[in-house]
Amino acid sequence: MDLVVCGIGGRMGGAVARVIQQTQGVKLVGAVDRPRSSRLGKDVGEVVGVGKLGVTVSDNIGSHLKGNVAIIDFTRPAASLGYLRDAAKRGIPIVVGTTGFTVREWNEIKRLSRRTRALVAPNMSVGVNLLLGLLGGVARSLGEEYDVEIIEMHHRFKKDAPSGTALALGRAIAGEWKRDLNKVGVFGRKGLVGERGKKEIGMLAVRAGDTVGEHSVIFGGLGERIEFVHRAHSRETFARGALRAALWLAKQNRGLYTMQDVLRLGKSG
Ligand code: NAD
């Protein structure tokens, strides 16, 4: 299978390209970065540190979209939507790892994915997706008396907060308890805020150094507390997940998928 990586100059784009190089049966045929990027015109292999590959970084995806090709995108929301439009136009499978989409952008993603195969996942790691699959059952067993707080920690360069993963974890619990995260989510607290509301789902985003990604989901009861913690040690976990998703997606019918589908965990809520 041929692959085009969007956002090749970024932390994730580089990790995906390196994993593609280590994997049999897949080939990097195109690499795209933003207009005016200092990487344009350079050899991809040299940009990502694996030695010359004979593929040049460009800002034009069009010429790569032919044959048995799939796109893996880790860029920024507006750019990802553009690549999704290109994929929809040509019926090419696309895996989007970018986070931070607005409700309006999500509606467009849903509309566009009717015309192609799209997989959008705020976190491509197997461990996080397993946790997402478990949380509904945990919330059901514990019951609504437990307070839920979610803490996420990422590197200082991350642009959106809270992380897409933290929101997905919150939604998995809120969905089980028939709550709307947009209404019950409390994103940090300061000052004389009063007692915790019974239905609140608290969320805190910590940004520190080069932290790859950590998520803690805390269920606090009277007399006990249960915590689920996931720590990503390196970006390789997301890159490997994205490649697994691309290989899986190529065999599916048109539609919008998540990592839960790839791992056959059922819907995350
Ligand atoms: P980064 O800033 O290191 O890289 C982003 C890259 O995208 C840069 O090279 C930038 O030049 C490029 N870019 C911007 N506009 C572009 C365009 N129009 N066309 C092509 N390239 C363009 O960021 P990162 O840490 O690699 O993260 C990228 C995205 O992936 C973020 O939204 C981040 O939250 C998300 N992310 C998702 C996962 C996951 O598992 N789904 C994991 C890590 C990061």
Q: Which residues of 128-163 are buried (b: 16+ CB within 10 A; e: fewer)?
A: bbebbbebbebbeebeeebbbbbbbbbeeebebbbb
* Nearest to 94, CA basis, from 240, 238, 255: 255
> Whole-angstrom Cα distance, residue 62 to residue 66?
9
How high is the mean pLDDT of the chain?
Answer: 95
pLDDT surpassing 50 at residue 63: yes
Residue 16 pLDDT > 60, yes or no? yes
Residues 6+ apart with CB under 8 A from 177: 139, 144
Say how many Å lie between the CA of residue 194 and the centre of ligand 1: 39
Q: 79 CB under 6 A from ligand 1?
A: yes
Centroid of ligand 1 to alpha carbon of 175 (angstroms): 29
Please identify, by atom number, the ligand 1 atom nearest to the C-alpha of residue 97.
41
pLDDT value for 120: 97
CB of 10 closer than 6 A to ligand 1?
yes
Q: Respond yes or no on whether the N-terminal peptide bond of residue 77 is cis (omega within 30° of 0).
A: no
Give the Å distance between the CA of 32 and the centre of ligand 1: 11
Point out the catalytic residue in the list 27, 42, 64, 154: 154
Confirm or reject: Cβ of 32 under 6 Å from ligand 1.
yes
pLDDT tens readout for residues 69-98: 999 999 999 999 999 999 999 999 999 999
pTM for the complete prediction?
0.87
Q: Provide the token pair at 142.
A: 């514990």
* Burial 78-113, CB ≥16 within 10 A → b, else e: ebbbebbebbbeeebbbbbbbbbbeeebeeebeebb
pLDDT value at 268 more than 50 = no
Q: What is the pLDDT of residues 213-222, one digit of tens each?
A: 999 999 999 9
For the chain, give the number of residues: 269
Closest CA to 265 of 140, 131, 143, 164: 131
- Does ligand 1 come within 6 angstroms of the Cβ of 75? yes
Atom of ligand 1 nearest to the CA of 82: 18
Q: Could you identify the atom of ligand 1 that is nearest to the CA of residue 13?
A: 26
In whole angstroms, what is the distance from residue 232 CA to residue 211 CA? 9
Instruction: Compute, in angstroms, the gap from residue 134 CA to the centroid of ligand 1.
Output: 28
Supply 224's token pair: 């006990």
CA distance 65 to 91: 10
Q: Whose CA is nearest to atom 16 of ligand 1?
A: 34
Mean pLDDT, residues 132-136: 94
Q: Whose CA is nearest to atom 35 of ligand 1?
A: 98
Of the candidates 128, 131, 87, 130, the one whose C-alpha atom is nearest the C-alpha of residue 111 is 87
Based on the residue annotation, tell me whether 159 is a catalytic residue of this protein: no
Residue 144 token pair = 């609504």
Query: Would you say the CB of residue 15 lies under 6 angstroms from ligand 1?
Result: no
Q: How far apart are CA 257 and CA 175, in angstroms?
A: 18
Structure tokens at 240: 């490997």
Contact yes or no for 266/257 (Cβ under 8 A): no
Instruction: Mark whether 158 is an active-site residue.
Output: yes
Mean pLDDT in residue range 257-269:
77
Query: Cα(11) to centroid of ligand 1, in Å?
Result: 7
